[in-house]
Structure 1
Amino acid sequence: MVAAALHGETSRPALFIAATSGNVLGAVVNFALGRFLIRFEGRRWFPVSPTNRQKAEALFARYGQPVLLLSWLPVIGDPLTLVAGLLRMKLPLFLLFVTIGKAARYAVVLYLTP
């Protein structure tokens, strides 16, 4: 996204929408894995290790659903979205928190890109 912004052929709003949408869709995949496919945990292709899942569960228990505002963070972001599915969080609320967090990250990145 930064390279595309520096190149200047694509508008920044389009980059923002594309990056945010793609990242939120990835989070929805993790949500679905937590909700419907957790039985496959431990398989090589499963995106979240049991250790990271336990850490995310502890964060969720401590801070509640707004912790999904941090879903953009490396290492803990994917487990958080998986745990939201495990806990059967309502999808509209999940989308609200995740979209705000990820959109904020891309807004900051684009703002800081010359």
Structure 2
Amino acid sequence: MTLESLGLPGLFLSAFVSSTIAPGGSEAVLAYLVNGQRYAVEQLVIVATVGNSLGALTTWWLGLWAAKKYPAETMLSDKQRKSLSTVRQWGSWALLFSWLPVVGDGLCFAGGWLRLSLLSSLLAIFFGKALRYIAIAYAFI
């Protein structure tokens, strides 16, 4: 059984897992379901966006937890400190790019580590991920 065959729950699970530290392919699942035309495109985009955003918030919470146990000054290399400084400078706006492969998880983690506002982080994450899923969905209609 594949995630695609699970329909909306499979899409949600794929999107959630894809947005945590684990690799995933929610874009492929979304494209497959859009092509199948069993669900409204808007419904698919919402399910994928919510799942992916909740996965990103999980990474954000891991960053918050890590900051309590491991201060940045003692754990990070100079390059990582510079990345953290960039997120610090841009604040929650940096999380608009949480959809980017490889870098996105780090942005969410840094957002939690820096204790960025949960609400503004969630809004930035959700908006960025929604735009990405809208673009993917409409590319496969």
Q: TM-score range by the shorter chain?
A: 0.7 to 0.9
AA aligned opposite 2:43: A
TM-score under structure 2 normalisation? 0.67
Distance 1:16 1:34, change over 3 A: same
2:3 match: none
Relative to the length of structure 1, the TM-score reads 0.81
Is 1:96 equivalent to 2:123 in the alignment?
A: yes
1:23-102 to 2 correspondences below 5 Å:
23-38=52-67, 54=81, 56-102=83-129
RMSD of aligned residue pairs (Cα, Å): 2.4
Distance 1:35 1:5, change over 3 A: same
Q: Which runs of 5+ in 1 are unaligned?
A: 42-49
The number of aligned residues is 107
SS at match of 1:73: coil
Larger Rg: 2
- Give 1:37 shift: 3.5
Higher relative contact order (CA 8 A, sep 6+): 1
Which of 40, 43, 47 is equivalent to 1:18? 47
CA distance in 1, matches of 2:126, 2:34: 21
Would you say 1:6 and 2:35 are equivalent positions?
yes
CA contact (8 A) 1:84 1:94 kept: yes
